[in-house]
Every structure is written in structure tokens, then in C-alpha cells.
Amino acid sequence: MHVQSICDAIDIPHVETRWDFQLQRADMSINLFPRPSVLSQAYVDLVKIWGWRSFSLVYDEHEGVIRLQDFLKEAQINDWRVQLYQFRPSHAYRDIFWRIKSAGESRIVLDVKRDSLRTVLKHAQQVGMMTESHNYLITSLDLHTIDMEDFKYGKTNITGFRLVDENNADLQALVVELNTKWSGSSKKLDLPIKTIRVRNILFSSFIS
């Protein structure tokens, strides 16, 4: 917000590529990330298509409640049975999964930071919550960057949305360009497409 204020003051365009629930933005500011309301509705619509009547909402950051609020609204309208859980910094992720398991729930909407996601799923696996009977809807648009090798044998249904088309020519050109720029550096970079996060792709698309 501080950077945005400075840009507004001197009439310099300010470009962001992050989730932001603000509906109003300054004249010189643009956010390339999908609108929160559009994403939320897409998640809710998917749950409706699946016919989920009972599920758990699990999040880590306080903003997660805002991202998941449409589920709570729909729960009241459609008489869904929804339980809300928040991971706490002082507790292991598996503690929450034990509670969910004890409640007999197998459907989970998971809203956690990308950098925590693999560890969260490992904790779910440790308590027997990553089997073919379990279903996960993951809200992170960077799910494609997570190594899922350890989870594929449990046949868990793990679903997420992606904005990245690995066959897109522009994206492939971006990867080649990044690797080429670093090829002469002392720090070798061999960047596969699956490691590029959405925010970087959005910004690259904006300036290209």
C-alpha cells in the first residue's frame, strides 16, 4: 500500500499480481490477479457440481476467511454442513486434520499459502487423510508448482484451478529467456515451466 501511495502521488502506474479483496483501486493502480469474487464463485460452483453437502473449510491466514466467505453464505442458503478450521502457528497442521478425521469428514476446501501447501498435505497424509476416500479443493493458483509425487499413490482426489498452460508458446519463451539470462551467471539456473508462479506469469504477460 505504501508503494501504491507513492506511485499515485507522482502519477506512475502501479502494477500488482496478488490477491486483493479491495473493490476500489487508485487511478494509477492495476491488479492483474483474478478478481476475488470471480474466483470465489468458481470454487463454490465447483462444489455445487460435485454435490457436496458436508465439508470442511481449512485456512491459515486471516484473509482466508474472506476468501472462503462465499462458502459460508452458500451454506446458509443451501443447508450445507460446513466446519471452519484455522491452522495456528504454534500447533502442527496434523492437529487440525486429526479433528477433521474424528468428525468423519472427507471433503476439504484448503486455503493455505503456496509455500506451506506441501507440508500441509504431508501432515494430512501422516494422519490418514490422503486416501482414495478423501477429496480436496485447493484454492492456491500455484498448485502446479508443488511436487505431488508423494501423494499420487494414495489416489486422493486433489483439485485446483490453474492459469498456466504449459504448452503456451509465450510461457515457453519466457522460460527460455530466463534460463538464457542466467546461463552466464555463477549461479546456474535451469528453470522448468512448472516452477513459475502465477504472479510472475501475469506480470510477464502484462509487459510483453
Q: What would the pLDDT profile of 57-102 be if each residue is shown by its tens digit?
A: 999 988 888 889 899 999 999 999 999 999 998 899 999 999 999 9
Question: Does 110 lie in the same domain as 12?
Answer: no
- Residue 207's pLDDT is 42
- Residue 192's pLDDT is 57
Asked if the model's pLDDT at residue 205 lies above 60, the reply is: no
* Range with lowest mean pLDDT among 1-10, 46-55, 132-141, 193-202: 1-10
pLDDT per residue over 158-203, tens digit each? 999 887 766 767 666 766 766 666 555 545 445 555 667 666 665 5
Question: Does 107 lie in the same domain as 60?
Answer: yes
Question: Does 115 lie in the same domain as 68?
Answer: yes
The grid cell for 55 is: 465439508
Q: CATH number of the domain at 52, please.
A: 3.40.50.2300
pLDDT per residue over 103-121, tens digit each? 999 999 999 999 999 999 9
CA angle 161, 164, 169 (to 5 degrees): 155
- The reported pTM is 0.76
Arithmetic mean of pLDDT over the chain = 79
pLDDT per residue over 72-83, tens digit each? 999 999 999 999
Parent domain of 24:
1-31
Question: Does 23 lie in the same domain as 81?
Answer: no
Asked if the model's pLDDT at residue 28 lies above 60, the reply is: no
Residue 40's pLDDT band (boundaries 50, 70, 90)?
confident
CA distances from 145 to 35, 117, 189, 196 (A): 21, 10, 16, 7
Question: Does 97 lie in the same domain as 19?
Answer: no
Question: Does 146 lie in the same domain as 46?
Answer: yes
- Residue 162's pLDDT is 80
CA distances from 118 to 123, 138, 183 (A): 9, 11, 29
The grid cell for 39 is: 474466483
Question: Does 80 lie in the same domain as 4?
Answer: no
Tell whether 126 is covered by a domain: yes
- Residue 75's pLDDT is 95
What domain count does the chain have? 2
Inter-residue contact 16 to 30 (CB < 8 Å): yes
Residue 133's pLDDT band (boundaries 50, 70, 90)?
very high
- Residue 144's pLDDT is 85
